Each structure stands twice: as C-alpha cells, then as structure tokens.
Amino acid sequence: MPRKSSRLTFAVLATGAGVFSMLQSLIAPALPTVQHALHTSQSTATWVMTAYLLSASIFTPILGRVGDLIGKKRTLVGVLLAVLAGCLLAALAPTIGVLIVARVVQGIGGALFPLSFGIIRDEFAASEVPGRISDLSAVIAAGGGVGMVAAGPIVSALDYRWLFWIPVAIVAAATLIAVRYVPESPNRGAGQVNWLGAVLLSGWLVALLLPLSQASGWGWGSARVIGLFALAVVLFALWLLAEARSRTPLIDLRVMRLPAVWTTNLAALLFGAGMYAIWSFLPGFVQTPSSAGYGFGASVTASGLLMLPMLVAMFVSGVLSGRLAPRVGAKALLTSGAALGAVALGFLALWHDTQWQIALVAGVFGLGIGLAFASMANLIVGSVPPEQTGAATGMNANIRTIGGSIGAAVTSVLVTGRLQPSGLPYGSGYTHAFTLLALLCLGAALAALLVPVRRPAPLSAPAARQAPAPESARVR
C-alpha cells in the first residue's frame, strides 16, 4: 500500500532526477564561457562534459545495485549529498581542474535514476506504478531540455557559476525532505556487492566511452583510441566471466537475457544514439552563421528557445504515456516514440532551411523522447524481480548513454570530416548525420517490435529463483 508521504516521496525523486538530467545539458552551451573564464584550452574544457559522462556511467549501475542491497533511501540520500557537494564545488571552482573533479562528483547522481524507479516500485500501489514511472521519466526527459533552454539566459543575466548555484539550493531542499519523509524500501536483495564485477564494469565502460568522446581530437586511428577499444573488449569479456561465476553478481546476466529486457535495451542503445546526438549538434547547427550556406547565426539563448518545443513535447508525452500504457501497452508506446524520432530526423535531413522547420522537428522529436523514456522504464521495471530493479534500470540508462556516446562520435565524424575554408562544416555533413540518426531511430522502432507482449515461463530452476512474480511478467 502507498505510504502517507507518497506525494513528497515522488516530489523528492522528481527533483533529484530532474536536476541531474538538467546538469547533463546545462553546461554544454556555456563551455566557451567556461573556457575563457578559467583560461584553459578548448580540448581541456571538453573534459567538463567527458568527466561527467564517465562518472555517471560507472556509478549508475553500481549504486543502483548497492541500493537494492542496503536500502534505496539510504543510498538515495548519499547520492543527493554527493550531487550537492559536486554542485557546490563547481560553483566555487577556481581552476578547470577543480571544475572537472566537481563534475566527477556530480556524476554520482546518475544513480538517482535507478534508485528512483526502485523506490516507486516499492512504495506505490501496483496500479500507480506505471503512471508514476511515466511521470518521473517525463521529468528526466524534460530536465535535459530545461538545461538547453535555460543555460543561455542564466549565463547572460548572471554568470556561468549560477548554473551550479541554482542546483545547490534545489538539491539541498530535496535532501532535507528525503531524510524526513522518504520511507526506506522494504525489498532488499541478497548477498553483497561484487566488487570485482564493479571494477571490471567500470574499466570496460571507461575504456569504451573515453575514446568515443575524445576520438575527434585524438584521431580514430591513433594508438590511444585503438588500444582503449581493444582494452574495452578484453575487460568486457572478463566482466561477463566474473559475473557469470559470481554467486551475487552486480548485474544478473540471466535477468539481462530476459526477452523483454534485452530487446528494450537494444532499443535504448539505438534511440539513445539519435537522441543525444541531436541534443549535442542541433544547437550548433542553428548557431552557424548563414554565410556557411545553412544555419541562422542564432545566439545561445535563441538556439535554446528553438529547443523549447522539444522540452514541452517531452514533458507532455511523458506524462500522457502513463495514462496510455494500460490501454495500448508500453511496447506500442516505445515503438511509436522511436518511430516519431525517425520521422522527425528524416524531415530534418530534407528540410532545415527555416527556423519553423527546426522548431517543428524539435517538437515531434520531443514527443518521441517522452514516449520512449517512459515506456523503456516501465518495460524494465515490469520485467525484473523487485530486488533487481535498481541494477536493471541502471544498466538500461547506461546502455542509452553508451548509445548516445556512439551517436555523438559518429555524428562528429560526419559533420567535421570536411570543413569549408572558413573552418565551418559543410551543410552536407549535417544532412548525412541527420539521415544516419533517422536510420538509428528507425532501428530502435524495429527493436521495440521484438519486445514480447508477455514474458515466457522461466527456462531453468536458477532463473526461476530470480524471476518476477506472475503479475510482474506483464510487459505490455
């Protein structure tokens, strides 16, 4: 049964997850300002984003599992305190090195996603869970949009440090409310954290994501990039072996092999590639001077406003998806969301000559993001045992991030592979990139079609011990 504090509980979860999502995109438009203010190079300034990405990719599944084992509220409060400390350190950072360390600390907040989904599953009535997960997913999706829209006005009116001072106040209030009103979840996993698995997971994620994020500067054929990719393959194989042999694996591979889980994760990988690439490159496209043959020479604030339709659409469709899921099913919503993304990017590849076309694409793509985010979370939560919720949803978020890194890296190659004498990319580079991203979203829609409507019976006794109750097997 839901607790009396359910509204405050949800408010805390939405605030924490929303702020973390906002921090992902909030600093990106302000990187040139940060570079100038802290007297550093462009390549060094990019580590403000890279450090955050790597930290979040490591801590999201690990702390999701820790929450399953020692208690989700206790872990949630610890993660909120880490985000608070990271924002405070970033606001006061005197050098780029301190700011990068602060972003690593902020990245711990990636665990807010799986912890929040797990607390919702534990603390709300079963009939409320899909709607609440959809609402939270809408907040997470919209948080990234808020970051893109708000960055310009905040930096123009105040200073880039206020990009962190504002979250300090919000997260501090959320932490105090969490300590007082969020109940400790009753469901606990058995065993202890598999630290060998955690180290190997961290290793292969860093070895994969680091070259993806830095390859444009290092060179795709450089020894560092090739060596790190090879190391990622080796560490991934060792991680699979360690998890398969562990009595208490960090990520239960049997759960990851469930049809509804692996198909949803495949869709997350492909859709994440399209989504994060658009977040990274569409503002740059509209800020390009029209003398390049495309673009509108928009300011950071104006380009953020062009993303406003995406923000509104993400939130609205995310909230509505929770109401639509009981009628049409989460699978249909995921398929529709990915298909809308493909349509929007296909339109963008063909027509991007006026600002209204950009705003239209942003709105349609936002509808797709809202539907896809909410349905992915509901499919994962509805398909795994309660004691595996944190680890499974954390891994889904990580896979989406990995897809985003791949999409951004490939898009960067297509956009910057050939430059005009002015140093600006050719318009054809953007056109090719938008076409590829449309195909990736189409692939996500096809992967979503593979999601089973109902989970089949367990195949083995060991798997049966990990299987969710019959009512959790529904993954519509």
Gap between the Cα atoms of 336 and 105, Å rounded: 36
E-state strands within 114-168 = none
Burial of 438 (0-12, 13-18, 19+ CB in 10 A): buried
Positions in the chain short of pLDDT 70: 1-5, 42, 187-191, 454-476
- Kindly state the tokens that stand for 78: 């610890």
Residue position matching structure tokens 């504002």:
166
What local confidence, expressed as pLDDT, does residue 167 receive? 92
Q: Which domains does the chain have, with CATH numbers?
A: 1-191 (1.20.1250.20), 194-247 (no CATH), 251-476 (1.20.1250.20)
What local confidence, expressed as pLDDT, does residue 459 receive? 39
Q: Please, are residues 16 and 6 in contact by the beta-carbon 8 Å criterion? A: no
71: region left, alpha or beta (phi > 0 left; psi from -120 to 50 alpha) = left
3-state secondary structure of 289: coil
Residues near 275 by beta carbon (within 8 Å), at least 6 away in sequence: 341, 365, 369, 400, 404, 407
Gap between the Cα atoms of 339 and 443, Å rounded: 9
- Kindly state the tokens that stand for 38: 């802290």
Residues near 440 by beta carbon (within 8 Å), at least 6 away in sequence: 270, 271, 273, 274, 407
Q: Partners of 419 in the beta sheet?
A: 425
3-state secondary structure of 425: strand
Q: Partners of 425 in the beta sheet?
A: 419
Q: CA-based diameter of the chain, in Å?
A: 66
Gap between the Cα atoms of 277 and 107, Å rounded: 20
Phi/psi at 419 (5° precision): -120, 150
DSSP state of 280: H
Q: Please, are residues 456 and 261 in contact by the beta-carbon 8 Å criterion? A: no
The residue among 398, 394, 440, 111 whose CA lies nearest residue 267 is 440
Give the predicted TM-score (pTM) of the model: 0.81
DSSP state of 292: G
Torsion of CA 93, 198, 231, 436, to 10 degrees: -70
CA–CA distances in Å: residue 220 to residues 212, 217, 224, 417, 429? 9, 9, 9, 12, 18
Alpha helices in 71-111 (DSSP H): 72-92, 96-107
- Kindly state the tokens that stand for 207: 């070895």
Gap between the Cα atoms of 455 and 435, Å rounded: 34
Residues near 256 by beta carbon (within 8 Å), at least 6 away in sequence: 262, 265, 392, 395
What local confidence, expressed as pLDDT, does residue 305 receive? 84
The residue among 116, 49, 103 whose CA lies nearest residue 390 is 116
What local confidence, expressed as pLDDT, does residue 270 receive? 95
pLDDT digits (tens, 9 = 90+) for 269-300: 999 988 878 877 888 888 889 889 898 998 87
Q: What angle do CA 133, 137, 143 make, to 5 degrees?
A: 150
